[in-house]
Structure 1
Amino acid sequence: MHAFARLSAALVIAAAATAPALAAPETYNVDGTHTFPRFSYSHFGMSTQLSRFDKTTGTVVLDKAAKTGAVDIVIDMKSVNTGHSTFNEHIQGEDFLDTAKYPTATFKSTRVNFEGDKPASIDGNLTIKGVTRPVTLKVTNFVNMAHPMLKKDAIGADATVVIKRTEFNAGKYAPNVGDDVTITVSLEAIKG
């Protein structure tokens, strides 16, 4: 009987030693030099206008084993870049972004939905101009790898969602200037 107990204990120890370590949530800090939320909309039906925000901060928490995560992003709305300085000022006015009163926009996830080993969509709350609405970002690209230059674990992702700007009190000239705004976020984040 003692031999059986010793053999059982040896097998348990061997199994524990060879079992993969359980992953824990890992935090990644947004790389502001490679993260750019962009937005596009129809301009009088004549063309699709594309602009971006140049300053974004935040974190992404990822637990690969549990297939869970969290995203917390802050966008500096004063960093809007339309490609023209006069229009940058115009779009920051009360009728649009009202950056004097609301200098930031935020996205806080409520759930990260996985398909296989990768996030497929992110449910969360988007706040623009003090108005918070639930949205779901569709993840169109996700990569987790060692950053080639920094030699640290990193993630990269692209995600998109369509919102109605009138729902965020930014609806001047709608519907002539499109109410539907496509937001596309290209994000890179480095493990902290």
Structure 2
Amino acid sequence: MGLSYAFLVWSRTGTVDLSRPVAPEQADAVVRRLFPRTPYARVATHPLLDARIPPREEPSVGVFVDGVLMATRDAHLYDPGILHRRYLELEDWPDLRLLTSDSTRDMVAYGHWLRGEQVRCLSVNALHVYRDRGAPEGFEGSAPASVDRWLDLSNAALATVLGLDGDVSVHPGRVEWQDVVVHRYARPPR
């Protein structure tokens, strides 16, 4: 089956410990930096499981001791290389990862940038490998990207970058989706 999600993850080391959140005001600051001309306001707090692919222009953000997690439609891309440049500008966290999976289309996409430069771009669906640029990363294993591995790649990326289980629970002691709190943002009514 699979799990659908669209995440951007900023860090210094390539992983974020979701069990170590910081004050919600830090999420406000991240949203202001990413969207300086859009008057987003924090409107709700909810579990990450409820924010996996949020409505357009309603990102959910969590800030943790070692990085930032954003659930956003802007990350729901078949080609990670077209990610909007604004997301490459959080210098405090020079390592950016895009993690996207869509179980209805049997696809996974992964992008990795270091200091604004893309070092890995991968997109696989049930029909073909759409993108495969840059050196494979550790979570991908030794087998090449292929259509029959899209779900394994999705699960491995989640486990490696965020410490989350994907569609199956195989890692005892991992953070549970419902235990990760993120903050939903929206524009004020006009």
TM over 0.5, shorter chain:
no
TM class by shorter chain equals under 0.3
TM-score normalised to the size of structure 1? 0.26
Structure with bigger strand share is 1
TM-score normalised to the size of structure 2? 0.26
Structure with bigger helix share is 2
